[in-house]
Amino acid sequence: MIAGLLPGLAQDLNVSLPAAGHLVTAFSLAYAVGAPVMAVVTAGLERRRLLAFAIAGISLANLLAALAPGYAGLLAARLLLALSAASFMPAASGYAAASGGPERRGRALSMVTNGLSFAITAGVPLGVLVGQRLGWRATFLVVGGLAALSLVGILSGMPRQPPGITAGLGERLALARRPDVLAVLSTSALTVAGTFTLYTYLGVFLAKVAEIGPEGLAMVLLGFGIASAVGTRLGGAAADHWGARHTVIVGCGLTLLAYLVLSLGASLGPAQALLALLPAILLWGLASWGLMTAQQARLVALAPALASVSLSLNSSAIYLGSAMGAAVGALVVADNGVRELGWVAAGFSMAALLTVHVCARRFRSRLTRREGD
């Protein structure tokens, strides 16, 4: 949501655009560190109760953000929001994975990811419109209210689910150090780093390159969100049908293509750039969100008995990538390189493709050694 509110928020708080962008960096770092820690702390809680506590924290954090007196107060609210979300999302994914069964795991996980993509579809453009008309604080109030409604839905509409396998930090770190798991986590981190290098400053990028204002930005974000929702569903189905690794390769390739088109379009005039950028943004949303669903399926397949652990590690990797991308994007913007954001994102996407190749090579090497034994 911060991406659509960034210029107005920076002006109101009297900070620079890169400083406002670091609200994304701080949130993402807190999430990345907090996800495994919160998973250990809350491991013994019944799953529905955990989801209820976490969504209540999300509601409170958004209320505090709306009432923040300045940048420091908003930063503190974002950190509370990060820890609440770090508790919620891995638990939600684990809940879905346990409920769907092995034969429908990809589709079940895609339903959770679809929640995120639907939030982008409706929430981000609406957040931009509300922020333009009523101020960015009103947007946080609306999100806090929606989280409160979600709390009612969790308590009234979801069956209880007992805690899964409890793993300590040592076991989580041991799983993260496995070469095959580490390669998959690296793919997630690099993919999301590419996304947030550009997405955090998308409003600034589109204003600079195609002269798109807040109203147009809301429509672009709506299109991106719709494409993301479609991609999420297609990614889950493709992972079940053709395999998660092949789905990730195709998704990374299409995402890279989208970044290249965005980068080349930035060198055109505003009218011509618009014609190139809009299809590329739709492709970007479709491919990048589709491959993330397949990434979850890859991790669950590598360690089915530790699905909740590997999914929490993936959440950390995603938000580490988000922090990395937002921080790198801030450096590029601070250096007056807004038009270069697409090229930087493309570099991250190429690195993500490389990690998929490395993971496959290591897997083949391990298989060969086992056959030799």
- The contacts found for 163-167 with CB under 8 angstroms, 24 or more apart, are 163/43, 163/44, 163/45, 163/46, 163/47, 164/47, 164/94, 164/98, 164/307, 164/308, 165/305, 165/306, 165/308, 165/309, 166/43, 166/44, 167/39, 167/40, 167/43, 167/306, 167/308, 167/309
Q: Could you tell me the residue ranges of all domains in the chain? A: 2-372
Summarize pLDDT for 219-273 with one digit per residue, the tens: 888 888 888 888 887 887 888 888 888 888 999 999 999 999 999 988 888 888 8
Q: How far is CA 230 from the centre of its chain?
A: 16
Q: Do 355 and 251 contact (CB within 8 A), yes or no?
A: no
pTM of the entire structure?
Answer: 0.78
Half-sphere exposure of 168 (CA within 13 A, CB side): 1
Question: Is 187 exposed, middle or buried, given 0-12, 13-18 or 19+ CB atoms closer than 10 A?
Answer: buried
Confidence (pLDDT) at 363? 53
How many whole angstroms separate alpha carbon 87 and alpha carbon 94? 11
**Contacts with 265 (C-beta within 8 Å, 6 or more apart), sequence order:** 209, 272, 273, 276, 277, 280
Backbone angles phi, psi at 266, to 5 degrees: -65, -20
> What one-letter code names the amino acid at 143?
V
Confidence (pLDDT) at 373? 46
How many whole angstroms separate alpha carbon 106 and alpha carbon 242? 11
How many whole angstroms separate alpha carbon 201 and alpha carbon 223? 17
Q: How far is CA 361 from the centre of its chain?
A: 27
User: Which stretches of the chain score pLDDT less than 50?
Assistant: 367-368, 370-373
Summarize pLDDT for 297-331 with one digit per residue, the tens: 888 888 777 776 777 788 788 889 989 999 999 89
Confidence (pLDDT) at 360? 61
- The hierarchical CATH code for the domain 2-372 is 1.20.1250.20
Q: How far apart are the first and last CA of the chain?
A: 53
> What sign has the CA pseudo-torsion 103, 109, 112, 114?
negative
The CA distances from residue 261 to 240, 257, 268, 285, 323, in Å, are 30, 6, 11, 14, 24
